[in-house]
Amino acid sequence: MDYLVRFKVNDKIFLRDPESSEIGKQIVKNAIELIHALGFEQFTFRKLSVEIGSTEATIYRYFENKHKLLLYILNWYWCYMEFLVDYRLQNVYDKKEKLKTVIQLLTRELPESSEQFDYNKKFLNQIVISESSKAYLVKDISIINKDEMFKPYKDLCSKIATVILEYNPAYLYPHSLSSTIIESAHSQQFFSENLPKLTDIGKKSTKNYTTQFIEELVFKVLAVS
């Protein structure tokens, strides 16, 4: 099932809210598709301007640089993932099943979007797996963090930490485990597809490998007697 949703993203990330106009939405939509196709290093505003049939100057009216555009895409994605966690957990009452549901959301590929003007969730997911570290492994991380540009990611981590504590209230490191689940989900999905010898995937299905690995890791760490 697909969801056509919109989120309010930190206004310090953009110069003009891309959700405020059709060209703004097209900038983000086409940026997602182009970054997915080319990779962040090869992505440029010049190439994006060709895709949207406009000028680089138009894009610069919305985003200061491509790093800010990547931050916008990632913030939107983390808001979307928090929305998905809330939606999927609303009728789940078993504490272990709640945690399993969260792990499955973080480790399984999202479907492609069916709406013409919606952002492609499958591409977003793959961008996050391969490119998200480029948003925070930067020299000015403290300045970016001060402006709360990672708040949606932190909010998602806190929500997952709450689910962890529901399962094991005595566990001392819920936020650390939460961020470890997310980052390990990314790295294991990337490694199993591209550098399989860094994993134990062997002939196992890449579709389920990361889910099974993270579930085993988490439930052993949280072993409830």
Q: Which among 210, 74, 102, 110 has a CA at the least distance from the CA of 160?
A: 102
pTM strictly above 0.85:
yes
- 3-state DSSP helix/strand/coil % of the chain, to nearest 5: 65, 0, 35
Q: Please enumerate in sequence order all residues whose Cβ is within 8 A of that of 71, keeping only pairs 6 or more positions apart, or say none.
A: 13, 135, 144, 149
* pLDDT above 50 (res 1): no
More confident residue, 112 or 140: 140
The two structure tokens encoding residue 95:
């504490």
Q: What is the mean pLDDT of residues 200-221?
A: 89
Q: How far apart are CA 171 and CA 221, in angstroms?
A: 9
Q: Which among 189, 191, 170, 31 has a CA at the least distance from the CA of 105?
A: 189
pLDDT score for 141: 78
Question: Following CA atoms 78, 33, 4, 114 in sequence, which dihedral angle do they give, to the nearest 10 degrees?
Answer: -140
pLDDT digit string, tens, across residues 4-24: 567 778 889 999 999 999 999
* pLDDT above 70 (res 165): yes
For tokens 């989120």, the residue is 7
pLDDT score for 69: 96
* pLDDT above 90 (res 137): no
Q: How far apart are CA 186 and CA 122, in angstroms?
A: 14
pLDDT digit string, tens, across residues 83-135: 999 999 999 999 999 999 999 999 988 876 655 558 899 999 999 999 988 77
Radius of gyration of the chain (CA): 18
Instruction: Count CA atoms within 13 Å of residue 123 on its CB side.
Output: 19
Highest mean pLDDT out of 164-168, 197-201, 220-224: 164-168
Q: Which among 114, 127, 64, 103 has a CA at the least distance from the CA of 213?
A: 103
pLDDT score for 114: 52
More confident residue, 118 or 179: 179
- Place 199 in a pLDDT band, splitting at 50, 70 and 90: very high
pLDDT digit string, tens, across residues 43-85: 999 999 999 999 999 999 999 999 999 999 999 999 999 999 9
pLDDT score for 143: 77
Average pLDDT, the chain: 90
